């Protein structure tokens, strides 16, 4: 048999494939957009959703805005204001650096940006398709900041649409993302609402993380919170955690993990936490834990995956072990006045 002929893929095909990897569901798109608003130093972020984010996902912030002259390229792939040299990655202070989120969204949805910087007297609105402007940006009224409107997500990817969960379930994932960012970024006020309805989630810009946890996850969890702190010079990390005491437990465990302010997953850390609590909680019951880790940037690789959902760091085993011991000690200390379950 003849060998197959190798051809270079069309650029739009390449971009669409990449977009499909970064934006898998409405909640992924929203995470990217929230991170952009935080990178732009917004103190107010409002999210509006229609049909689980599939019909409409809109995020409004009061951040720096986007310069008018950048509107032409902002949705092209690999255009960013945050990174210039690869070396800068080892010390990156922003969430974004790949310049792919807006580009990706523009390949799988109808995307419009309305934005105003402090220097302009009016705002500008521009709409995009496949990374490019659909027409020249139009002047419009508006406050400083940016409104990103994403409509008809995956309109051109029928297979992806079919694989999504119901709007209610996608909304739940959106709510989960907003809740977690709202807790961690307690200096920023977040609002989440379904279009035309009153907010389902609202935090104030001067509330504490404890306030936000109580507000979002309920009084029962709020009352059970125990702060745990740890600073370690050997492995160069700091931890700030709020975990529930052992007299609280729920069927569904909730874990919020931020590493250098990025919302990430860590199976290893999750397993460690579960193993601590399994000694104290009834079988099948779980705690609520919020853990914020700050690791020296040179020990952290954020460029593992385009979604940045996963990060790698040095001394993972040692760090997890130290966290585990610290939390364990704190739980023991808070537990003197009551009896508790011990699984045999």
Nearer residue to Mg ion within complex by CB, 40 or 327: 40
Q: From residue 30 to residue 59, what is the string marking binding to ligand ADP with x (rule CB under 6 A)?
A: --x---xx--x-------------------
Contact indicator for 56, 147 with CB cutoff of 8 Å: no
Contact indicator for 203, 216 with CB cutoff of 8 Å: yes
User: What is the smallest separation between the CB atom of 80 and ligand ADP, expressed in angstroms?
Assistant: 3
Does position 101 interact with Mg ion (CB under 5 A)? The reply is yes
Does position 263 interact with ligand ADP (CB under 6 A)? The reply is no
Nearer residue to ligand ADP within complex by CB, 94 or 214: 94
Does position 37 interact with Mg ion (CB under 5 A)? The reply is no
Does position 177 interact with ligand ADP (CB under 6 A)? The reply is no
Contacts of 32 (CB under 8 A, 6+ apart): 22, 23, 96, 101, 104, 105
Nearer residue to ligand ADP within complex by CB, 61 or 170: 61
Query: Which residue in the set 30, 57, 71, 102 belongs to the binding site for ligand ADP (CB under 6 A)?
Result: 102
Q: Which two tokens stand for residue 66?
A: 């986007």
Nearer residue to ligand ADP within complex by CB, 145 or 287: 145
Query: Which residue in the set 49, 54, 74, 291 belongs to the binding site for ligand ADP (CB under 6 A)?
Result: 74
Contacts of 171 (CB under 8 A, 6+ apart): 49, 52, 53, 194
CA 314 from chain centre, in angstroms, equals 22
Q: Mark the segment that binds Mg ion (CB under 5 A) among 35-43, 140-148, 212-220, 270-278.
A: 35-43
User: What is the smallest separation between the CB atom of 23 and ligand ADP, expressed in angstroms?
Assistant: 11
Q: Which two tokens stand for residue 280?
A: 């104290």
Contacts to ligand ADP from residues 199-218, by CB under 6 A: none
Q: Which of the choices Mg ion, ligand ADP, none does residue 24 contact, using the CB cut-off of 5 to 8 A by kind?
A: none
In angstroms, rounded to a whole number, what is the distance separating the alpha carbons of residues 109 and 151? 6
Q: Which of the choices ligand ADP, Mg ion, none does residue 266 contact, using the CB cut-off of 5 to 8 A by kind?
A: none
Does position 106 interact with Mg ion (CB under 5 A)? The reply is no
Q: Mark the segment that binds Mg ion (CB under 5 A) among 30-38, 56-64, 111-119, 268-276.
A: 30-38
Binding-site size, Mg ion (CB under 5 A): 3
Query: Which residue in the set 24, 81, 278, 335 belongs to the binding site for ligand ADP (CB under 6 A)?
Result: 81
If we measure between CA atoms, which residue out of 228, 320, 325 comes closest to residue 266? Answer: 320
Does position 38 interact with Mg ion (CB under 5 A)? The reply is no
Query: Which residue in the set 27, 29, 34, 36 belongs to the binding site for Mg ion (CB under 5 A)?
Result: 36
Question: Which single residue brings its beta carbon nearest to ligand ADP?
Answer: 96
Contacts to Mg ion from residues 220-259, by CB under 5 A: none
Does position 101 interact with ligand ADP (CB under 6 A)? The reply is yes
Q: Which of the choices Mg ion, ligand ADP, none does residue 80 contact, using the CB cut-off of 5 to 8 A by kind?
A: ligand ADP
Binding-site size, ligand ADP (CB under 6 A): 22
Task: Give the binding site for Mg ion (CB under 5 A).
Answer: 36, 96, 101
Per CB under 6 A, residues contacting ligand ADP are 32, 36-37, 40, 61, 63-66, 74, 80-82, 96-103, 146
């Amino acid at each position: 048999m003849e060998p197959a002929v190798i051809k270079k893929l069309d650029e739009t095909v390449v971009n669409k494939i990449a977009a499909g990897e970064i934006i898998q569901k409405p909640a992924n798109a929203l995470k990217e957009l929230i991170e952009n608003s935080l990178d732009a130093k917004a103190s107010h972020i409002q999210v509006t959703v229609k049909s689980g984010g599939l019909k409409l996902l809109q995020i409004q912030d009061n951040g720096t805005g986007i310069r008018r002259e950048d509107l032409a390229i902002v949705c092209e792939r690999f255009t960013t204001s945050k990174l210039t040299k690869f070396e800068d990655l080892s010390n990156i202070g922003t969430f974004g650096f790949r310049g792919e989120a807006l580009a990706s969204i523009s390949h799988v949805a109808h995307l419009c940006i309305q934005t105003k910087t402090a220097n302009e007297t009016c705002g500008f609105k521009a709409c995009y398709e496949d990374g490019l402007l659909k027409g020249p940006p139009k002047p419009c009224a508006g406050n400083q900041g940016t409104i990103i409107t994403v409509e008809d997500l995956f309109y051109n990817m029928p297979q992806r649409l079919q694989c999504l969960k119901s709007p209610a379930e996608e909304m739940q994932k959106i709510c989960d993302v907003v809740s977690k960012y709202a807790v961690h970024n307690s200096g920023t006020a977040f609002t989440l609402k379904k279009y035309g309805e009153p907010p389902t989630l609202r935090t104030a810009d001067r509330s504490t993380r404890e306030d936000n946890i109580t507000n979002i996850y309920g009084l029962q969890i709020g009352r059970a919170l125990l702060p745990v702190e740890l600073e370690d010079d050997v492995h160069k990390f700091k931890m700030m955690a709020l975990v529930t005491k052992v007299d609280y437990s729920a069927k569904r465990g909730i874990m919020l993990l931020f590493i250098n302010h990025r919302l990430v997953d860590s199976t290893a850390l999750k397993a460690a936490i579960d193993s601590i609590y399994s000694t104290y909680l009834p079988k099948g019951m779980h705690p609520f834990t919020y853990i914020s880790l700050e690791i020296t940037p040179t020990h952290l690789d954020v460029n593992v995956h385009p979604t940045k959902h996963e990060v790698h760091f040095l001394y993972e085993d040692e760090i997890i072990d130290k966290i585990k011991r610290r939390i364990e000690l704190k739980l023991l200390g808070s537990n003197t006045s009551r009896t508790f379950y011990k699984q045999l």
